[in-house]
Amino acid sequence: MRVIIVDDDPLVSMSLKIILETDKVGDPIVVEATGTSGREGVELYKKLKPDVLLMDIRMEDMNGLEAGEKIISEDPDAKILLLTTFLDDEYINRALKLGVKGYVLKQDCKGLPATVRAIFDGQTVFGGKIVEKLPDIMNRKEKFDYEAHGITEKEKQMIELVADGLSNKEIAEKMFLSEGTVRNMMSSVLDKLDLRDRTQLACFYYQEIRP
């Protein structure tokens, strides 16, 4: 597995590199390069196309969120793990909207190899303390206006089932529809909300919709 680390503190990058490359639990993790700014992270990603990009948030010359947005806009399949020492609500909101695959605190770096492998395998990982803050963030949101976004009652029901973790087949059974109809509804909803995939839709639900 090929990884890039971007952090404005070279000592942090070196420590993370050692943690990842010395882990023997699964397949080897190789840190191909390190960078010190978001702009450098964008350049390294374009050049090396790593399996996972680990990136700090607070950096000079383009922060990690800005860099992540640029990378994902050019490569929607990019697997980005944001690392930070700050439990900042705004950062968490933006990370969810961007569709990054992970957001964890540097203090939890002992579990970093497992997190990186999970993201590589297609999972989305948020650190425990991040998850604990989500209810507070959600409760501050005003009621979502489905009608303003052109979301029908059936689409609203489908969104809630996606957020509950149901597959297209399970949603079809619940709603007495064909899987093809569910797929078409999914595409329509993603277009209306300007989202990329069902993972972003689930995150969007818990961030913007659920009361």
Q: In this structure, are residues 195 and 201 in contact, taking their beta carbons and an 8 Å threshold?
A: yes
Which residues, 6 or more positions from 126, have their beta carbon under 8 angstroms from its beta carbon? 102, 103, 104, 134
Which residues, 6 or more positions from 203, have their beta carbon under 8 angstroms from its beta carbon? 96, 99, 124
Longest dimension (CA), the chain: 56
* pLDDT of the residue at 135: 60
Averaged pLDDT for residues 129-152: 70
Backbone angles phi and psi of 24, in degrees to 5 = -115, 10
* pLDDT of the residue at 139: 59
Distance of CA 182 to the CA centre of its chain: 24
Domain residue limits, the chain: 2-136, 147-209
Pick among 3.40.309.10, 3.90.1150.10, 1.10.10.10, 3.50.50.60: CATH of 147-209: 1.10.10.10
Pick among 3.60.15.10, 3.40.190.10, 3.40.50.1220, 3.40.50.2300: CATH of 2-136: 3.40.50.2300
Percent of the chain with pLDDT over 70: 91
Instruction: Quote the mean pLDDT of the chain.
Output: 87
Query: What tens digit of pLDDT does each residue of 31-83 get?
Result: 999 999 999 999 999 999 999 999 999 888 889 999 999 999 999 999 999 98
Cβ-count burial of 147 within 10 angstroms (0-12 exposed, 13-18 middle, 19+ buried)? Answer: exposed
Averaged pLDDT for residues 92-98: 79
Closest to 105 (Cα-Cα) out of 117, 123, 91, 119: 91
* pLDDT of the residue at 93: 75
The pTM of the full predicted model, rounded to 2 decimals, is 0.63
Which residues, 6 or more positions from 178, have their beta carbon under 8 angstroms from its beta carbon? 172
Residue-wise DSSP of the chain: -EEEEE-S-HHHHHHHHHHHHT--SSS--EEEEEESSHHHHHHHHHHH--SEEEEESS-SSS-HHHHHHHHHHH-TT--EEEEES---HHHHHHHHHHT-SEEEEGGGGGGHHHHHHHHHTT--EE-HHHHHHHHHHHHTSPPP-TGGGT--HHHHHHHHHHHTT--HHHHHHHHT--HHHHHHHHHHHHHHHT--SHHHHHHHIIIII--
What is the distance between the alpha carbons of residues 69 and 78, in angstroms, rounded to a whole number?
Answer: 10
